[in-house]
Structure 1
Amino acid sequence: MAALLAEGYLGSVWLTGQHPSRDLRRGRYTPESMKHPGKMLPTIPRYAIRTYTNPGDVVLDPMAGIGTTVIEAMHLGRHGVGIEYEAEWVAKAADNIRHAVQAGAPGRGEIFHGDSTALPALLPAGLHGQVSLVITSPPYGSSTHGHVRTPGPRRGKVRKLNHKYGAGDNLAYRSHGQLADGFTAILTGSRQLLRPGGHVIVTARPYRRHGELIDIPGMVTAAGINAGLELVEECIALICGIRDGLIIPRASFFQQKNIRDAIATGDPQWLVQHEDVVVLRAPLSGVPASSPVSDRQTS
C-alpha cells in the first residue's frame, strides 16, 4: 500500500503524516494562527483536494478554523472558501489568506464569519451548487491536547497552552447528541452547496470522555447519511510517519501520558496515530458514477 501511494495511486491509507505539523506550516501560515486548538494536518486537505478536484474548482470548509483547507486549496490553484464561527480565528484565517496571496498562491481564498448550521444562507448565491469538495472536521469536545510547556523540575509543573475553544456556545461545548444534530445540519447545508456528484470528506477520530470511548467517526457517517449524502468510502489518514517500515509516532505529551497511566492501571489502550476519513458524495442527479479525478498525487 505504501508503495502504491508513493507512486501517486489512490488508496484507503493516506500517507499524510510523514512530516510534523510544525514543519508543514512553517512559512506557509502566520505564527499567531498556530494557537488554534484543533488544527487539521495540512497534508490531509492537500491530498483530498488533489484527489477529488481539478484546478479552478471550489473547495469549502464550513468549520474552517485558521483556514487550513482554504490555504491548501489556494496553493493548489483552487478557490478555497471557509466559514468560521469564532471571530478570532476568522481574523487569523484572513491573515493566512493574505499571506498565501503574497506567497504567490495561484488560487483564490475567502473566509466568512457565521454559524455553519445556517448554511447555505451564509454564502453568496453564486456559490450554490458550485462546490466540488467539502472538507471539514468536527470538534472533539471543549478542549484538545494543545501545546505543552515543560519548564523543568524546579520551575513549576508542565503546562497546557492553546487547548481550549473560544465561546461557550461553540459546538465543541455541546453534548454528543447536540453535536450530532448540529453536524447533521452542517452537512445538510453543505449538500445544497455541492454540485451533483460533489464529495464531502470529514476527518474524525474517537476520543475518551471520562473514560468512555466516544465514536465520533460513527456519528459523522450517520450525520452524512441523514443529510442525504451517500457513503462512498472509509479511509484512514496517518498522522504518524513511516520510515523503513517502522512507525514514527507524533502523539502529544498528554496523549502519551494518558496511555501510560491507563496501562499502569490495567486498562490496555493504544496511541491513535491516524484520523478516520469518511468520504461521502452528493446525489448524482442521473449522472453515472465516476471515480475521483485523474490528477491524484500524494502529499
Structure 2
Amino acid sequence: MSLKNTIKENVPGFLKEAWRNSQKLSKKKTYEALKNFVEKNDVIKRLFSEKVVDEHYGTRKSRNNVFHPDLFINQIRYFRLWEYFQTFYPEIFKDEIKVLNAGDSSGVLLNAMGKKGVSLDIDPHSVQKIKNKGIEAYQGSIYQLPFPEKSFDYSMSFQCLEHLDSPMLALKELERVTRKRIFISIPYREDTRVCNKEYWDDIIRKPEDQGGWNVKEPQENFDYHIFEFSAKDFISLLSYTGLECERHYPINYLEPIGATSVNKGSYFNFFDIKVKNG
C-alpha cells in the first residue's frame, strides 16, 4: 500500500468528514463566484450566453453543478479569449484576416468573432453543427490539415492537444499552415503527467462529491486526456519546432488573461506563440 493510501486509511472518520465538508464549502464559493461573474458580464450575456454554450458544455447534469461548473467555466474562458484578442490582436476580427480554429468542436468562439474564420474538427457531427451556424467548417485531422502552407494569418487550438497521442505532429502542422501566430490552451499543470486510461475510467464513474463525473456508461470514444504538460515542458516541446512562445498565462477567470502569471485556481494555461519563419 502506498504512503498516501496508508495515511488515508488511518485518518479518523470525523477528520475525513471535516475535510470533505471543507472541500464542499470551497467548491461552493468558487461556483458562486463564477456564477456571479457570468450573470453580471454584458459581453457574456450577448456572445457567450448559457443558451449558446449550453449546447456543447451543459448537456449533462453532472457537468454543470457545484462540483463541476463546466458551463460557467467555459462561458468565462471564451470571454477571456475574446477579450485577449480584442485587446492585443484587434486585427484578428477583420474580414481580410484568415483564422483557423483546429480541434474546434463547438464554433462558439468563431461565432462570437463574427464567423470570421475556418473551423476544423475530427468529429463529423460537430462539424455539421458548426456549419449550421453559418461558419466555414471542415472535417479533418489536426495531424494532416487539409490546407496549403501558410494559409492562415492566425491559428488557434484550445483544449485539444491533451487528447492527442502525437502533440508534436499537431504543432508542426499548425506551424506549416500559419503565417503569424498560434494560440494554444491546455489544462493547467504544475508538473507534466502522462494520464493512465484507468485513471480516467475511475474519474468518469466516481460520484460528484468524490471528484468524479458520475457517468456510469461513458461513450466508447470518450475524450480522455493523454498528455498534460506543465507550462515549462510545453515551451520546451516548442523548441523542436519553428515556434517560439512569447507569452503564457494561467487563465484565472476572474481576471483578464495576462493580468497575472500567478495561478489562482486555474484550469487552463494559455500560450501566445510566434511563428518564427512565417
TM-score by length of 1: 0.50
Q: How far has the Cα of 1:233 moved from its partner? A: 1.4
Q: Write the distance in 2 (CA, Å) between the matches of 1:272 and 1:80.
A: 31
Q: How far has the Cα of 1:30 moved from its partner? A: 7.0
Contact 1:232/1:281 (8 A) holds in 2: yes
The counterpart of 1:114, out of the listed 129, 140, 156, is 140
Contact 2:188/2:266 (8 A) holds in 1: no
Which has the larger helix fraction?
2
2:157 is aligned to 136
Q: How far has the Cα of 1:274 moved from its partner? A: 5.2
Once the two structures are superposed, what CA deviation does each residue of 1:196-254 show, in whole Å capped at 9, x if it has no partner?
xx11111123358559x943534532343322101211223322369xxxxxxxxxxxx
The reply on whether 1:29 has 2:52 as its aligned counterpart is yes
- The count of residues paired between Structure 1 and Structure 2 equals 183
1:222 is aligned to 236
Check 1:135–1:129 CA distance in 2 against 1; reply closer, same or farther (3 A cut). Answer: same
Once the two structures are superposed, what CA deviation does each residue of 1:46-78 show, in whole Å capped at 9, x if it has no partner?
124322251121121111111133223326xxx
1:4 is aligned to none
Check 1:136–1:43 CA distance in 2 against 1; reply closer, same or farther (3 A cut). Answer: same
Which has the larger strand fraction?
1
Query: Helix, strand or coil: the match of 2:56?
Result: helix
Listed as ranges, the gaps of 5+ residues in structure 2 are 1-35, 64-69, 204-226, 257-262
The amino acid of 2:246's aligned partner reads V
Q: How does 1:1-299 map to 2 (within 5 A)?
A: 18-19=37-38, 23=45, 25-26=48-49, 29=52, 31-34=54-57, 35=59, 41-50=77-86, 51-54=88-91, 55-56=94-95, 57-74=97-114, 79-95=116-132, 97-98=133-134, 109-119=135-145, 122-123=146-147, 125=148, 128-139=149-160, 172=163, 178=165, 182-195=166-179, 198-206=180-188, 214-240=228-254, 272-273=265-266, 275-284=268-277
Check 1:221–1:59 CA distance in 2 against 1; reply closer, same or farther (3 A cut). Answer: same
Q: Write the distance in 2 (CA, Å) between the matches of 1:48 and 1:228.
A: 24
Q: Write the distance in 2 (CA, Å) between the matches of 1:31 and 1:235.
A: 26
RMSD: 3.7
Check 1:73–1:30 CA distance in 2 against 1; reply closer, same or farther (3 A cut). Answer: same
TM-score by length of 2: 0.54
Check 1:48–1:130 CA distance in 2 against 1; reply closer, same or farther (3 A cut). Answer: farther
Once the two structures are superposed, what CA deviation does each residue of 1:81-129 show, in whole Å capped at 9, x if it has no partner?
111011222122223x33xxxxxxxxxx31110111112xx13x4xx42
Q: Write the distance in 1 (CA, Å) between the matches of 2:178 and 2:160.
A: 22
Contact 1:134/1:200 (8 A) holds in 2: yes
Once the two structures are superposed, what CA deviation does each residue of 1:254-287 show, in whole Å capped at 9, x if it has no partner?
xxxxxxxxxxxxxxxx9723532111101256xx
The amino acid of 2:175's aligned partner reads R
Check 1:191–1:61 CA distance in 2 against 1; reply closer, same or farther (3 A cut). Answer: same
Q: Which has the higher contact order (CA 8 A, sep 6+)?
A: 1
Listed as ranges, the gaps of 5+ residues in structure 1 are 1-16, 99-108, 142-171, 243-269, 286-299
Check 1:28–1:220 CA distance in 2 against 1; reply closer, same or farther (3 A cut). Answer: farther
Once the two structures are superposed, what CA deviation does each residue of 1:158-204 show, in whole Å capped at 9, x if it has no partner?
xxxxxxxxxxxxxx3x6xxx3xxx22212211112112xx1111112
Check 1:70–1:281 CA distance in 2 against 1; reply closer, same or farther (3 A cut). Answer: same
Q: Percent identity?
A: 10
Q: Write the distance in 2 (CA, Å) between the matches of 1:136 and 1:68.
A: 13
Q: Write the distance in 1 (CA, Å) between the matches of 2:248 and 2:54.
A: 33
Contact 1:117/1:185 (8 A) holds in 2: yes
Contact 2:53/2:108 (8 A) holds in 1: no
